A and B are shown apart, each in its own frame.
Chain A
Amino acid sequence: MAEIQSYTMNFGPQHPAAHGVLRLVLEIEGETIQKADPHVGLLHRATEKLAETKPFNQSIGYMDRLDYVSMMCNEHGYVMAIEKLLGIEVPTRAQYIRVMFDEITRILNHLMWLGAHGLDIGAMTMFLYCFREREDLMDCYEAVSGTRMHATYYRPGGVYRDLPDSMPKYAESKYRSKKVLDRMNSVREGSMLDFIEDFTNRFPACVDEYETLLTDNRIWKQRTVNIAVVSPERAMQLGFTGPMLRGSGVEWDLRKKQPYDVYDRVDFDIPVGVNGDCYDRYLVRVEEMRQSNRIIRQCVDWLRDNPGPVMAEDHKITPPTRVEMKDDMESLIHHFKLFTEGYCVPEGEAYAAIEHPKGEFGVYIVSDGANKPYRVKIRAPGFAHLSAMPEMVEGHMLADVVAVIGTQDIVFGEVDR
C-alpha cells in the first residue's frame, strides 16, 4: 500500500468560504490539519495611517469600511474615543439612537454571519432567509443616513441628524401589482420608529424560523458540535472577546460590565455557552439577536416619548444648522472653521472600547493637541480571533477549517485594516 505523506496546501486568497481575502497555508496529513498558517493583509489599506493625515471627523467614514458588516458600531468606537478626549457630553436622545442603531447593527452582523456560516457548512436556505431580514434593517440605515451601508451617521457630540418622520416607500412598477405594492408599503406608512417597532414584532418569529432549520438539525450539529473547542482559560489567554469568549463560558460583556451610553438603562440578558465549541457560539449569537431585539424595542419606546436634541450644542465641535449659519455671523465662522480646519483635540490619549458584534472593538487615540490625531490604533476583535486559528483547527479535518472561519465571524476589513 502506498504511503500517505503529509503535504502543504494553499487555501485562498480567493476562496468563497474564506469570507474575503484570507490565504491559508495548510499542512495536511490525509485530510487532517497538522498546521495552519493564515496569511492576512491582502486588504490592508493603512486606515490608521490615513487617519493621521486627516482632521478627526474626516476619518469617520473610514471606520465604516473596517468591519463592513457592522458599520455603525465601528463609528461608535471611534467617536467615543474622541468624545473621551474632548470631554463632551452627548445628549440622551442621541445616546438612545446610538444604542438602538448599535443593536440594529448587531442583528445585521449576526444575520450576515448566520447566513454565511450556514452557507459554508451546507445550509443554503439560511443565506436567503437572513438576507430577507437584513433588507429591512438596511432600509433603516438608508432612511437615517442616506446610505445602505457606509453611514457616517455617528459624530463626536451625537448623531448627524434626528430620526426621519417617514420611511421611503416602494415605487410602482410594472413587475408588481397594486395589491403587492400596498402590502409591501403597509409597514412604511408611519415614521421610522413605527417601521422599527413593526420589525421588532416580526423578528422573534424569524429567529424561531432560523432555529427550526438549524438548532436540532442533525447535519448542522455534526458539523459544529465539538468542533474547535476552546477552554475559558485559553480563550482569555488568546485575547478572545465577544461571542467567542462568551461561547467558552466567560460571562463578559462590556455593555453590562463597563456600560457606555445608555446600556445601563436598558434591560437585556447575556447568553453564555458551556462547551466552547462552534455549536455553543452559534447558540450564543442567536440568543444575542433576540436580546438585541429587546433592546431595540425599549429604545423605540423611549425615543417616541422623549424628543430633544441629538447633537451637542458646542459649535466649536459640532456644526451649527444651515439656518443659523445663514443669518448669524458667529455660526458662519464656526461652520467655516469646522469644515476647513476641524477642531483641535486636547493633548492626551484615550482608549474607548465598545461591545462590537464580533467582540471588543477598541480605538486608541493619541492626540498632541492638533486637529488631526497623532496616532490611531484600532483594536479589531477579528485580528485576535484569527491569530488563534492555527490552534483551533489543529487536528481537525480540512472541511472544519471552513466551520472555524465561520464561527470566528471573520471580516477582513477589520482584520487587515
Chain B
Amino acid sequence: MTDRIDTLVSKIDARFGEKMNRVASTCRELTYELDKDDLIKVATALRNEADFGFEMLIDVCGVDYLSYGSDEWVTNSASGTGFSRGVERKPVILDEADEFDPRRFAVVYHLLSIQNNVRLRLRVFTGTANPPIVKSVVDIWNGANWFEREAFDLYGILFDGHPDLRRILTDYGFIGHPFRKDFPVMGNVEVSYDSDDGRVVYKPVSIEPRTLVPRVIRDDNRYSADLKDVKDG
C-alpha cells in the first residue's frame, strides 16, 4: 500500500505539478486540494490516463467549514454558585451575504482505482460565490449524479453542467439547506394537523435547541506527531 501511494504521489507531482496541492494527511491517506477551475481537467486526466486509472468515483460530498475548530464550552473560571454548563448559543449567521469565506464550502471527491488498487481524495473549495458553485463531474463519472444532487440538497452547492439538479433527500417544497452549520438541528418549521382547516399546516418550531453534551476541544499531546510511533498501513 505504501509503495502504491508513493508511486502515485510522484506521478501526480510530475503530471500536475502546482495544480494539485497535497494536504498533510493523517491515517496514510492521500488528499489533494485543487482549484475549482482545474477540476474538470484534472478529473478527466485522473480517469482516462493509464498512470492513474481512477475509473470509479466512490463518493462526492459537501462539507461546510463554518464552525470548524470552535467549541461550545469555555471553562476558564469557576463561579461561586457552582458549575453549570456554560454553553453559549452563538448567534445564527444568515447566509444572505453576497460573499462567503472562500474556505467555507468544499466538495470532497473520493476516487478509487481498481486497476492500481489505490484511493485518492480531492477537495475543491467553492470560493466566495453565493450560491457556491463548482463544475459537475457527471460526464466523467456518471455515478456522480445522485451524489451531486445530495450535496446540492443538503449544502446548496450548485453543480454547473449537472443534467438534473433537483433536491433528493428532503421533502417536496423544503426550504433551506439542512446540513449547513447555520441550519438548526431541529429545523425551522414543524407540521401539525389543523382540524379546523382540515389540512396539514406548517408553523415555526416551538421547541428550544438544547445541548446534552457540549462540544469541547482538548489539547491532547498523546496525538502530537513527535510522540507517536509512525506505522505503515
Contact = CB atoms under 8 A, between A and B. Distances in A.
Interface string B106-122: 00101000100101010
Interface residues of B, number: 50
Contacts of B63: 366, 375, 377
Contacts of A290: none
A379 interface: yes
Interface in A228-277: 236-241, 250, 252, 257-258
Residue among A46, A342, A349, A379 with most chain B CB within 10 A: A349
Contact of A371 (B27, B145, B150, B215): B215
Given A84-B27, A349-B31, A375-B63, A40 B169 contact: yes
10 contacts: A46-B178, A54-B213, A236-B55, A239-B57, A250-B114, A316-B222, A348-B26, A350-B27, A383-B146, A387-B147
A257 B118 CA distance: 10
Contacts of A344: 216-218, 220
- Tell me what chain B mostly uses at the interface: helix, strand, loop, or mixed: loop
B59 interface: yes
A377 B59 contact: yes
A372 B218 CA distance: 12
B142 A237 contact: yes
A310 B63 CA distance: 35
A370 B150 CA distance: 26
Contacts of A55: 213
B141 interface: yes
A359 to B, nearest CB: 10
Contacts of A44: 169-170
Contacts of B87: none
| 8 shortest interchain CB distances as A-B pairs | A239-B143, A348-B26, A346-B223, A387-B146, A41-B169, A377-B61, A379-B59, A44-B169
Contacts of A379: 58-59, 61, 110
Given A40-B168, A388-B143, 9 more contacts: A46-B178, A250-B114, A341-B216, A349-B25, A350-B27, A371-B218, A375-B63, A379-B58, A383-B147
B75 to A, nearest CB: 11
Interface string B206-233: 0000011101111010110000100000
B26 A346 contact: yes
B52 interface: no
A370 B216 contact: yes
A374 B68 contact: yes
A55 B25 CA distance: 23
A6 to B, nearest CB: 20
A348 B225 CA distance: 12
A41 B119 contact: no
A356 B128 CA distance: 38
A49 B154 CA distance: 10
A41 B143 contact: no
A82 to B, nearest CB: 11
A69 B148 CA distance: 27
A70 to B, nearest CB: 19
Interface of A: 40-41, 44, 46, 48-50, 53-55, 58, 84-85, 87, 236-241, 250, 252, 257-258, 316, 340-342, 344, 346-351, 353, 360, 362, 364, 366, 368-372, 374-375, 377, 379, 383-384, 386-388, 416-417
Contacts of B69: 347, 368-369
Contact of A48 (B145, B167, B179): B179
Contacts of A377: 59, 61, 63, 108
Given A340-B213, A364-B110, A351 B220 contact: no
A258 B61 contact: no
B213 A257 contact: no
A341 B171 CA distance: 34
B28 to A, nearest CB: 9
Contacts of A48: 179
Nearest to B28: A84
A54 to B, nearest CB: 7
A250 B56 CA distance: 12
B182 interface: no
B59 A362 contact: yes
A387 B110 contact: no
Nearest to B216: A371
Nearest to B153: A41
B61 A364 contact: yes
Nearest to B68: A368
B38 interface: no
Contacts of A347: 26, 69
Contacts of B71: 370
B207 to A, nearest CB: 14
B129 interface: no
B119 A351 contact: yes
A101 to B, nearest CB: 23
